[in-house]
Amino acid sequence: MAMMEPSMVTRKDSGVDFIVLGGGIAGMRAAIELAKGGRVLVLTKDDLYESSTEYAQGGIAAALSEDDEVTLHLHDTLIAGDGLCREEAVRVLVEEGPQQIHQLIDWGMHFDQNGTKLAFTREGAHSRSRILHAHGDSTGSEILRALMAKARTISSIQLQPHTFATDLMVENGRVCGVHYLDDKTSSSRYIPAGAVLLATGGLGHVYKETTNPSVACGDGMAMGYRAGALLSDMEFVQFHPTALFVKGAPRFLLSEALRGEGAQLRNLLLERFMPRYHEAAELAPRDVVARAIIMEIQRTRAEFVYLDLTAMDPEHVKKRFPRIFATCMKYNIDITADLVPIRPAAHYSMGGVATDLQGATSLPGLFAAGEVASTGVHGANRLASNSLLEGLVFGARSATAMLKKHVPLPFPSPKPNPRAECTATATPQPTDPQKAVDEARSILWQKVAIIRDGKNLSEAVKRLGEFALPDTSTPSRQTLEARNILTVAPLIARCALAREESRGAHYRSDFPLKKESKHPQHSYISKNSLPFFE
């Protein structure tokens, strides 16, 4: 059995049937389904509600309106994914999405309505108004409330916050439990389980600037990588075009729905610039909008551009986007009257732990759902508001497969390469893990962000490879998060260097075109292999 350092293993807990790591939409939807087959333990490293789901503003996409069809949702998703979506995964998403939405409503979810009908809005790259929202711009929070309320009615689900899962237990090639740190008692423990679901969310805090909550450190991807799981498409990181830019303030996300309802982008000269970059203007795919903003920032030698809502009805804006309005007012910005300074920030990882359509990974006993997983749904560029839907659909599918003791489909088999390990064990241990993390974040932000090139990527790979992982023999949340960030950061850089083309969110100025000569390929990487494509 793969164990942690002896000093970290202090106590073994009694086993459970299923462990779910993460309490966002994917984890909670899975836990409710898993409860049909046994005892479920949900571990979250912070408060129960602290996840990207809680802060999701824009909404959840589903073909439920009278003028919409699942085939249109399928088409829009495939177009946004820039040729790299797995069509069978997208088909699962759009076909099973509506029934999952109805299930949520049955459990007490309250979506906004126009009279007696559901209210829909439109976001970038959607051909129809299919985005459901709740309390204006608090959709994720309301979904999580409904799921938590349902879970609390099920006695076989145990919710355990402030419990940092540190590593997967692996015996004879099968995942059979987790090691974790109890944050409240600072004690290290491990617990066996019949199967484990990674639902730990994303990796935004690998970057210097991000819209993600502080818990998004790539924990699940790092755990999967250390255990030997295959990761896929790590180079595809989506940067949200419109994050509030106020010096000294967090990069608060300004929802895509603002542009969907009429907000415009202007440069420092107050020129509306998006029509020059794409026929859909502000409603172009996110990668296009993010690159356009960066180009305008460089062209005008500015630090930001403006989001302009001043032509919109002020009362509608306040009612539709109450959370955004209130947050901006904290910084003395009235979004109904003032131009709002914005620039892109790291937002979402399309890549992650590779899974099949049932959430099974390359390691038996290990499943993944939500942002931590790479299902192929999002391809090279996620379509707005598909992420909550993915968590809902694939959280449920993963749980169903776990109940059936599903055997994963064959995954690509990388050729072993002893040079592939990204840790540089010969270098001294950093005296300050936070300092190492800050430097790594800056490297990614400067060299592996929205516009990339081979020279900068090569330098990033070299510099990130020089970091030693922090000593975790006396674990703390800071050192454990640092270990995960310093594990995941080089994977992004190495996969980005290996992909010599521009596709979706991965744009290389030295390879500005897509490789059209053959079918688009997904990247893969593991601790025993360099990046490869298949």
- List the Cα angle 93/196/206 in 5-degree steps: 75
Report the relative pairing of strands 16-21 and 157-160 from DSSP bridges.
unpaired
Which of 505, 457, 466, 506 has its CA nearest to residue 486? 466
Residue among 63, 90, 95 at smallest CA distance from 78: 90
The encoded tokens of residue 137 equal: 């711009």
Q: What angle do CA 225, 15, 151 make, to 5 degrees?
A: 85
Per-residue tokens: 95: 């076909």
Nearest to 224 by CA among 395, 419, 374, 85: 374
Amino acid at the residue 49: Y
Query: Are 479 and 263 contacting, i.e. CB atoms less than 8 angstroms apart?
Result: no
Cα separation, 446 vs 436, in Å, equals: 15
Q: Is 286 one of the catalytic residues?
A: yes
Cross-strand bridge partners of residue 157 = 40
Q: 211 with 253: CB under 8 angstroms? A: yes
Hunting for tokens 């029509």 — which residue is that? 275
Q: Which helix (H) or strand (E) holds 433?
A: helix 433-447
Q: HEC profile for 167-213?
A: EEEEECCEEEEEEEEECCCCEEEEEEEEEEEECCCCCHHHCCCECCC
Do you know the residue count of the chain?
534
Q: Which helix (H) or strand (E) holds 337?
A: none
Q: Provide the Cα torsion 152, 156, 159, 163; round to 10°.
A: 180
Query: Rounded to an integer, what distance in angstroms lies between the CA atom of residue 12 and that of residue 2?
Result: 14
Distance CA 169, CA 67 (A): 49
**Separation of alpha carbons 93 and 329, rounded Å:** 37
* CA gap 77, 412 in Å, rounded: 25
- Start-to-end CA span in the chain (Å): 31
- CA-wise closest residue to 351 among 122, 95, 533: 533
- Torsions phi, psi of 390, nearest 5? -60, -45
Instruction: Please identify which of the residues 286, 343, 499, 508 carries the catalytic annotation.
Output: 286
Annotated active-site positions, please? 286
